[in-house]
Amino acid sequence: MATTTATGTRPPLWRDVRVLRVAFQVAVLAAVVAFASYLYDNLRANDVSFDFGFLDQQAGFGIAYTDLRPSDTVLDAMLTGLRNTLTVALVGNVLTLVLGTLIGIARLSGNWLVRRAAGVYVEVLRNIPPLLVIIFVNSVALSILPPIQDANEFGGLLVLSVSELGVVSLADGGNAEAFAVLLLAGLVAALAVSWWRRRLEDRTGAPAHQWVWGGGLLVAVAVVGYVALASPVVLSHPEVEGLSVVGGARMGLPYVAVLVGLVLYTSSHVAEIVRGSILAVPRGQTEAAGAIGLSPVQRLRHVVLPQAFRIATPPIINQFLNLTKNTSLGVAVAFAELLRVTNTVIGNGHPAVPAILVAMGLYLVVSLAISLVSNVAHHRLRLVER
Amino acid sequence: MARATDVLAEPLAPVPEPEPPARGLTPREWVRANLASSPFNAALTLLIGAGVAWALYRLGRWVFVTADWAVVRVNLRLFMVGRFPADELWRLWAAGYVLVAAVSLAAGALAASMRRPVAGDGEGIAGDLGGGRRRGGVARRAATALHRFWPAVLAVAVILSFTRTVVPSLGTLGLVAVGVAAGALGARLPVRLRRWAWLVGVAGILGGLQVITAGDGGVGWDDWGGLHLAVAATIAGIALAFPLGLLLALGRRSSLPGLRVVSTAYIEAFRAVPLVALLFLGNFMIGFMFPTAVEPPSFLVRAVIAITVFEAAYIAEIVRGGLQAVPRGQIEAAQAVGLSPVGVMRLVVLPQALRAVIPAMVGQFISLFKDTSLLSIIGFFELVDVTRAVTLQDAFRGQGLRPVALAFAGLIYWAGCATMARESRRLETRLGVGER
């Protein structure tokens, strides 16, 4: 190209790269627009409604374990479904991270039995559809749990029955909010103190026990606050009363099935990531750390784990995203998450296409938020090379 | 970023594992080193050992004593092929033979073209190094294959143990024999023909489809079910999504901003929503996307469209990873010898990129195979839905047999996915992905 331009003769239009580039893009965009308008025309011709007014109408149904009433609007119902989705996602992601990390480390254990048991766990669970795992958990629970009249009660800590489950939980004993604020302040102070001790250690080289100082401060604040506010939080014990569980955190079986199923499935993937990330830290790093006299624990703590963490974070966030999207499988066991609620809404005669579009929009927002976290983490953790 | 994520989400390179009775260790020493190297470890062994033993006992008791497998034995055909008419079952077998022969031929040719040149035709030291492992008697090779494919072998053995006649077993043996023969033939194809072997694979898929559907008594895909539907949907989904995904990946890597924006928006949007939601949307909406004069497509076609649209976004990200892995020097060298942009892409970049992403594509195939279970949610008679339907039959209702049926379906899924995952890992090592 450069030569032709230099000699002053321009190629014909259909061979000029600059023209072709623009023309090609215009053609692609025109095709996309044409396709979209074709779809829209057909949808209109088929009387598909794009009216979102139904969101303000009465939902006409309630959702168990939430304060949704039939008189609330459809939008309220869908947001309640979204809240259920996010609850499973949040609790599930935390449990998945804990379980997955434990199993990933167990796969690297020096103990043959531990290593093998963890390996079997991973190889079995990650090769089965999550939907099947959820339904399996649900159906096994249905067949082994007792009816609520003779529920299994474990000393006020746990109540198991086929219709409802309860776990001991924290409840407001008066002043819970003040206590929470106090704890938050204590946490900030503790972080500040440990940062200060860390700086001191970096400067002087003398051990400054940052964790002891920070942790100690937090515990002290908690104890003093607990006494001063006259037990602001109490334990709430679940008990069977009549045909329902009272007190504690009450859960329906579908919720538990979705949660347990997704945690089992996703933790097998997280375990592989954890294992792979630890193995991906070059051997030389461990050897070098040993050479400068670090103990095995110090080697892990200061050399291997920080680097493994850097490698593992983006794919683990990706798994969080998968778990969050997979909560939609709850639809199969009648757990009232976003998609299930959307289906109910459609079943009540509201227009299908806009309802699903709203649901997909909500999923999109949640997923993109997680992707954003992932991108930020990726940029923060990226190895900066020369 | 997505590339790093995707690559790492896949199983990583195999770890050298300190295997049991290593030479020079007496059993006593081995136990010492691997089970009780410290008091803590010994306690751990006892604790976990007790747990594992209990779990194994419960599992064994359930499988061999408690569970009533009659629900599977009676309904085996439903699990395998749904409500496919018994008189037309020969069509499925015939299609299976066509498909296995064609795909094995293509796979054999592909494997041969990827073998490092030294191992392929070298006779000297290189040939010995590369080919030594392949020699050995039939028994040895069978043992190797058994070790390599044991999850699939196990599942097929379990399935066949539920059959009442010898025909399915003979048919399966024949399938294996045809597959092995076609694979060997594919590997021996002249290099000139190897390049076109994938066409045979495509022809096999279309031919199999013809055998099942065409003519008097043919069964249209709307009446498919069970494992057959799951496999068909997986193959259709990947085959249709691959071209679209390839285009999207090229678009996202393009230097033209218009293309890039469109492709990126597509990929990110469809990766962000769950497949189930998309399946529902497709169910309700795709029928209306056609002009009123045209008869709306069947529900299965809609589901396959939704799956294709969804999978294409994932495949695009995989291919993009492969494109990024092609060194810049390759492109510059290709330009230097005077190839056109299309030529650079077709002859230099894509062959390398696509070869590098084969393991990840197998991973995506696995993930789609698992995702076909979602078809049961939107009302298809798929494996998971079969487990529901059979426990509603008069003979089996209300006996808590769902876990039994699910365990059988789970074994099938597990065997398929685990076998493919093992193959994918083997390929990864062989291709040296991540090593170069």
Where do the structural domains in chain B lie, given as residue ranges? 85-218, 220-436
Burial B397-413 (b: 16+ CB within 10 A, else e): eeeebbbbbbbbbbbbb
Any idea which of A272-286, B103-117, B418-432 has the lowest mean pLDDT?
Answer: B103-117
- SS3 category, B266: helix
Please judge whether A132 and B384 are an interchain contact, meaning their C-beta atoms are less than 8 angstroms apart: yes
- Per the rule left: phi > 0, alpha: psi between -120 and 50, beta: everything else, B9 is alpha
Distance to chain A for B4, nearest Cα, Å: 8
CB contact under 8 A, A131 and B384: yes
Facing residue for A46 by CB, picked from B44, B288, B377: B288
Nearest residue to A355 via CA among A8, A22, A48, A126: A48
List pLDDT tens digits, range B318-360.
999 999 888 989 999 999 999 988 889 989 999 888 888 888 8
What pLDDT is attached to residue A53? 83
Please give the pLDDT value at position B148: 87
Mean predicted confidence (pLDDT) in A184-196:
91
- The 3-state DSSP composition of chain A as helix, strand, coil percent (nearest 5) reads 70, 10, 20
pLDDT score at A184: 92
Chain A residues with beta carbon closer than 8 angstroms to that of B418: 123, 127
Cβ distance of A360 and B1 shorter than 8 Å: no
Residue A268 has pLDDT above 90, yes or no: yes
Mean pLDDT across A98-124: 91
Rounded-to-integer distance, Cα B274 and Cα B283, Å: 14
In this predicted model, what pLDDT tens digit does every residue of A315-353 receive, in sequence order? 899 999 999 999 999 999 989 999 999 999 998 888 888
* pLDDT tens-digit map of B242-277: 999 999 999 998 888 888 999 999 999 999 999 999
- Predicted ipTM? 0.85
Name every chain A residue with its beta carbon within 8 A of the beta carbon of B154.
Answer: none
* Highest mean predicted confidence (pLDDT) among A9-23, A263-277, B175-189, B283-297: A263-277
Q: Does A369 touch chain B (CB under 8 A)?
A: no
Which residues in chain A touch residue B409, judged by CB atoms under 8 angstroms apart?
A: 132
Q: With 70 as the cut, is the pLDDT of residue B7 above it? A: no
Per-residue confidence (pLDDT) for residue A161, from 0 to 100: 86
A244–chain B nearest CA distance, Å: 24
Does the distance separating the beta carbons of A356 and B285 come in below 8 Å? yes
3 state SS of A348: coil
CA distance A72 to chain B (A): 24
> In this model, does residue A8 exceed pLDDT 70?
no
pLDDT for res B127 = 36
Distance (Å, whole) CA A361 – CA A350: 17
3-state helix vs strand vs coil in chain B, percent to 5 = 75, 0, 25
Nearest to A127 among B256, B280, B418 (CB): B418
Contacts of A68 (CB under 8 A, 6+ apart): A59, A61, A62, A76, A77, A80
CB contact under 8 A, A21 and B1: no
- β-bridge pairing A249-252 and A244-246: unpaired
- First vs last Cα of chain B: how many Å apart? 20
Copy the structure tokens of residue A184: 């938050």
- Tell me the pLDDT band of B126, cut-offs 50, 70 and 90: very low
Tell me the per-residue pLDDT of A133-182, one tens digit each, with 9 for 90 and over: 999 999 988 888 888 888 888 877 888 888 888 888 888 777 788 888 99
Contact at CB, B285 and A329, closer than 8 angstroms: no
Task: Kindly list the distances between the CA atom of residue A117 and the CA atoms of A56, A123, B31, B422, in Å, as whole numbers in the listed order.
Answer: 53, 10, 16, 19
Residue A205: pLDDT above 90?
no
Q: Do B37 and A332 touch (CB under 8 A)?
A: no
Band of pLDDT at residue B3, cut at 50, 70 and 90: very low
pLDDT at B240 over 90: yes
Mean pLDDT estimate for chain A: 87
Q: How many CB pairs under 8 A join A and B?
A: 191
Residue A258's pLDDT is 95
Average pLDDT over residues A105-128: 91
Is A315 at the interface with chain B, CB within 8 A? yes
The confidence score (pLDDT) of residue A147 equals 86
Domain B220-436 has CATH 3.40.1390.30: no
Mean pLDDT of B10-28: 61
Task: Inspect the interface and report whether the beta carbons of B384 and A375 lie closer than 8 Å.
Answer: no
- Mean pLDDT for the stretch of residues A25-31: 90
CA–CA min distance A196, chain B (Å): 35
CB spacing of B410 vs A132 below 8 angstroms: yes
Residues 343-362 of A with CB under 8 A from B: 343, 346, 352-353, 356-357, 359-360
Q: Judge whether residue B134 has pLDDT over 60.
A: no
What was the pLDDT predicted at B433? 54
pLDDT at B119: 42
| CB contact (8 A) between residue B413 and residue A25 | no
Of the candidates B132, B346, B369, B125, the residue with the CA atom closest to the CA atom of residue B229 = B369
Residues 6+ apart with CB under 8 A from B250: B319, B323, B345
pTM metric for this prediction = 0.86
Cβ separation A132–B377 shorter than 8 A: no
A48: nearest CA partner in chain B: B288
Distance CA(A199)–CA(A195), nearest Å, equals 6
Q: Among residues B80, B231, B102, which one has the least CA distance to residue B178?
A: B102
Give the β-pairing of A169-172 and A233-236: antiparallel
Say whether A329 and B281 touch across the interface (CB within 8 A).
no
